[in-house]
Amino acid sequence: MSDSVSEGRKLRNVFGQFASGVTVVTTTSADGTPHGATVTAFTSISLEPRLCQVTLTRTSKACAILADNTFAVNILASSQDDIALHFAGRPREEPIRWGDHDVAPSLCGNLATLWCRPWAQFDGGDHIIFLGEIVDAEIAEDRDPLLFFRSTFHDIGPTSHDGLWNHSGDDPLTGWFGATAELRPIN
């Protein structure tokens, strides 16, 4: 086995140590057929303007279809592992239930859904990075997320504490140091 292959596997294993949510990015092909791809590389980017990012393998069919196309980011609920597998290439026998939205096709039963217009795309090595401007969003607060960790699906499990963390830790008014803190270099 070559060093680059073993290094690639090692890096993939390192990346797999980061638990992430699971999404399916959906859009329509040129003939109007809904299409989707399971994606764990999803990130919120900005509140103003409202932007999110999905990253797709450059050689995937979904990557070619998504270019300059509206799309939905379907944030999957813990009960949707079969949907994640379906759009990752292991089709299920049951038909997919599609939601009706004028921006892009979406899936039914999600934890949350973001509908996006294309904002920008960037070279990401063997991936393409797509930024979408969020034009609509929906959330189902009675569901838990589907998580992916070490190549396996998980649910969120019990909470570790009773408090909610609603603010960024580095916000000068509510965060770690407060508005009057003086920060000095360590000598």
Whether the per-residue pLDDT at 179 is higher than 50: the answer is yes
Examine the pLDDT at 173 and tell me if it is beyond 60. Answer: no
Write out pLDDT tens, residues 113-135: 999 999 999 998 989 999 999 99
Q: For the residues 132-161, what does the mean pLDDT come to?
A: 82
Q: Which domain range does residue 93 map to?
A: 21-146
**Nearest CA-CA partner of 70 in 112, 139, 130:** 130
Please state, as a whole number, how many other Cβ atoms lie within 10 Å of the Cβ of residue 111. Answer: 23
29: nearest Cα among 73, 80, 64: 64
What's the CATH number where 45 sits? 2.30.110.10
pLDDT at position 155 is: 77
Q: Is residue 2 part of a domain?
A: no
Domain count, the chain: 1
- Average pLDDT of the chain, as a whole number: 83
Which residue type occupies 176? W
